Amino acid sequence: MDNVDLFFQIFNLHGKSWILDQLMIFASTSLIYLMLLGVLFLALKGETRDRKAFLLIIVGLPVAIIIIKIIHLFLFEPRPFVTFNFTPIVPEDANASFPSRHATISAVIAFSYTYFKSKWTPFLLFIMLWIGLSRIFVGVHYPLDVLGGFTTAVLAIFISLKIKKFLEASFMR
């Protein structure tokens, strides 16, 4: 099964269950903001590892956005609703599809907590996967866009950890 076939298998699930549709629309549009608020709350009230994860997120998100901008210099994949001329379930600009920014941001958050072995890791990984799947379900990303977002997040975390190590070596002697 290729990327387009898998996209249509997931996208064609909409309209079969009102509850599923609403859950996926919520995840695709609003859940990322609740995830960010939750991370901010954990930075203020959580354990030390949650605060460390927050600092990694603060460095990781700009790095991830820069990586996405670099990818867009060399690769432009139109969104599925542009390619196949349909209206997505949620409104979205017809900009580049690969990689998914929602998937990247949610993965930077989840992987930062994973790196520091937070007790919130399983919950955040679930949210990350839900957001990624929802972006396909509503018709604004292909499965490889979401996988590309997750991969971009891994690269951003790796680079951010190298930046952290450099800063510690340079300024924390």
- The tens digit of pLDDT for each residue in 50-71 reads 999 999 999 999 999 999 999 9
Amino acid present at 146? V
Q: At residue 41, does pLDDT exceed 90? A: yes
Please state, for a pLDDT cut of 90, what percent of the chain lies above it.
Answer: 92
Task: Look up the pTM and report it.
Answer: 0.93
73-90 residue pLDDT tens: 999 999 999 999 999 999
Q: At residue 173, does pLDDT exceed 80? A: no
Chain mean pLDDT for the chain? 95
> What is the pLDDT at residue 159?
97
114-132: string of b/e by CB count within 10 Å (b at 16+)?
bbbebebbeebbebbbbbb
Q: At residue 1, does pLDDT exceed 90? A: no
Closest CA to 91 of 83, 99, 79: 79
**All domains of the chain in start order, with CATH:** 3-171 (1.10.606.20)
**Looking at beta carbons, which pairs linking 31-37 to residues 24 or more positions away fall under 8 Å?**
31/127, 31/130, 31/131, 31/134, 32/102, 32/105, 32/106, 32/131, 35/106, 35/109, 35/124, 35/127, 35/131, 36/109
138-172 residue pLDDT tens: 999 999 999 999 999 999 999 999 998 888 888 77
